[in-house]
Amino acid sequence: MAEPLLRVEKLVRRFGGITATDNVSLDVASGELHAIIGPNGAGKTTLISQLTGHLEPHSGSVSLGGRDITYLPAYRRCALGLARSFQITSLLLDFTAADNVALAAQAHAGTSFRFFANARKERGLRDAAHAALDRVGLLHRADVVVSKLSHGERRELELAVALASKPKLLLLDEPMAGLGVTESQRMVKLLQELRKEVSIVLVEHDMPAVFALADRISVLVYGRVIASGEPAAIRANEEVKRAYLGEQHVVRHV
Amino acid sequence: MKGLGASKAVTALMLAGLVLLPLYSQLSGNIFILTLFTRIVILALAAASLNLIMGYGGMMSFGHAAYLGIGGYAVGILAQEGVGSGFIQFPVALAASAAYALVIGALSLRTRGVYFIMITLAFAQMAYYVASGLARYGGDDGLTVYKRSDFSGLINLSNRTQFYYLCLVCLLGVIFVIWRIANSRFGLVVQGLRSNEQRMQAIGFPAKRYQLACFVISGTMCGLAGALLANNTDFVSPAVMYWTRSGDLMVMVILGGMGTLFGPVMGAVVYLLLEEFLSQITEYWALIMGPLLLLIVLFGRGGIMGLLGRVGRG
């Protein structure tokens, strides 16, 4: 088997007495859409934060394309082809949609220690921005300031920003969070398109979306991966069923 | 668009006034006004440089007056030691300011928010006490600059009009550079970091090196203001670095409009004219000045520039 694009090995992260990431190992193959699901508080965001470099693990390792990135800062990982979207939308609110995306393109197109030429007139950057916006269906909103965009549009813009850095691996932290039914359907459609071009790790609560999209699913419960496999296998897995159906029951007694 | 018109019109009017001022001074025989405005233009330059990190970069430096002192002392000390050439004094003033900014910035930018404000303040106060301790160069009493910087006949700094125009050209030059920077790749990154640092890191920008570069550029510009100020007053003392002076600069920037190109100039003109005018009326001028500033900041979010924008829009 070829080297996986992303390999996570025995990752551990504790917060005080709580082990939020408990010996997590998983592989994401090139071209795969790998979904991570789990009940609230299962440690999904903690795991993602360690993949993106916003949080350091206590032990274990993360490697991207065979290169150890466990302790690299976020901006270096991005340069290696790892892009993310945030669970809670995180954009430059006082910039236009096009500026947000163009900055992501700029980060990967030569030095930004240029002090004199007008960056908004750089054709290459603007074209890249418009292409990424077009990709997510936001081209008509390119020159609108982000604070005036709707929640759904901001979620799409998050994706466009991530795409503009031409990543090898896209980490999407609940891209459907807070979206209405039609918006969710649009997002699923969009992800179905994107997955042809880029490997994706998808953390998501929306189960129909996950089962429609994923090649493989890992189920996280209390920081541990309790099952990992193809959607059909996960759907049939007794332990997974128990974790989900018994969730409230368990929470009440702990 | 009408709103933009109002602030543009006022800015144009102000600039025209600044350019024509020596003419008025000559015709009316009012020499004092030229002296006053030379000081205003120099401090406007300092405020504009502060605006680069504060308005565009979101870095609330409370120690910007330190550069006024460093630029000033570079001129004063060199003059005292017999180096009178401006071609040496000014580059040294700029280089010293840049070096100071590099060190202070590298240390201060490890912190954020209130801590950044406090640490920049602390370093400026340190510079103040160091200057007070320079016994050879006047210590507490300051240092008299007996001869203004000599530019070997190119320009005569002792001529009031020529000196005024030199200051004005420096101010406009600095504003031009800030304008270019603000729209450049570098400027967009710095402004992006002000807006959302986490996001900028995630798309691949290491925050600190951009902020530090911005900090150094701003400090160097303010060092220029310091060198001019020492020539204007023929004197430099630790008092130019005192924290209240840093506060004055911040007030000018906020008053005029943070993150706007000409806001700091507007702020400096209004602040210093008010100070001059009110202090002629009453000894307790600060009692009037304080509430006045409060009102402008409370009701004119975005300073005078913001106010003009809204007035124009109706």
Q: Which of A112, A146, A157 to mutate to test the interface with B (most CBs of B within 10 A)?
A: A112
List the single residue in B195, B196, B203 with the smallest CB-CB distance to A165: B203
- Residue A251, pLDDT > 70, answer no
Inter-chain touch B195–A119, beta carbons under 8 Å: no
- Check CB contact under 8 Å for A116 and B180: yes
Which A residues in the span 154-193 are in contact with B, Cβ-Cβ below 8 Å? 161, 164-165
How is A181-240 classified by DSSP, letter by letter? HHHHHHHHHHHHHHTTTSEEEEE-S-HHHHHHH-SEEEEEETTEEEEEE-HHHHHH-HHH
Q: What mean pLDDT is predicted for residues A147-173?
A: 92
Closest CA to B269 of B304, B223, B312, B311: B304
pLDDT score recorded for residue B285: 87
Q: Which of B185, B199, B210 sits opposite A90 (nearest CB)?
A: B199
- C-alpha to C-alpha distance for A78 and B202, rounded to whole angstroms: 7
The answer to whether the Cβ–Cβ distance between B206 and A75 falls below 8 Å is: yes
Q: State mean pLDDT over A193-202.
A: 92
Give the Cα separation of B214 and B55 in Å (integer).
12
Binary contact (A120, B183; C-beta < 8 A): yes
How far is the C-alpha of B116 from the C-alpha of B148, rounded, in Å?
A: 36
- pLDDT, tens only, B156-191: 999 999 999 999 999 999 999 999 999 999 999 999
* Segments in chain B below pLDDT 70: 1-4, 312-314
CB of A94 within 8 Å of any CB in chain B?
Answer: yes
Closest by CA to B269, choosing from B32, B106, B37, B79, is B37
* Interchain CB contact of A120 with B (< 8 Å): yes
For residue B78 the two structure tokens come to 């060199």
Q: Does A108 touch chain B (CB under 8 A)?
A: yes
Tell me, yes or no, if A95 comes closer than 8 A to chain B by beta carbon: yes
Alpha-carbon gap, residue A11 to A44, rounded angstroms: 13
Sign of CA dihedral B57, B63, B65, B67: negative
Give B114's contacts (C-beta < 8 A, 6+ positions apart).
none
CA distance B277 to chain A (A): 38
Give tens-digit pLDDT for B226-252.
999 999 999 999 999 999 999 999 999
Tokens of B201: 């890191």
Q: What angle do CA B167, B181, A164 make, to 5 degrees?
A: 175
Integer angstrom CA distances of residue A46 from A7, A223, B212: 16, 9, 31
Q: What is the ipTM of this complex?
A: 0.88
In this complex, the residue of A84, A113, A165 whose CB is nearest that of residue B186 is A113
**Calpha distance B121→B136 (Å, rounded):** 26
Stated as kind and residue range, the H or E segment containing B186 is helix B185-195
Model confidence at A248: pLDDT above 70: no
Q: Which residues of A touch B206 (CB under 8 A)?
A: 73, 75
Answer for the pair A152, A160: CB distance below 8 angstroms, yes or no: no
The Cα A229–Cα A34 span in angstroms is: 9
Indicate if the pLDDT at residue A249 is higher than 60.
no
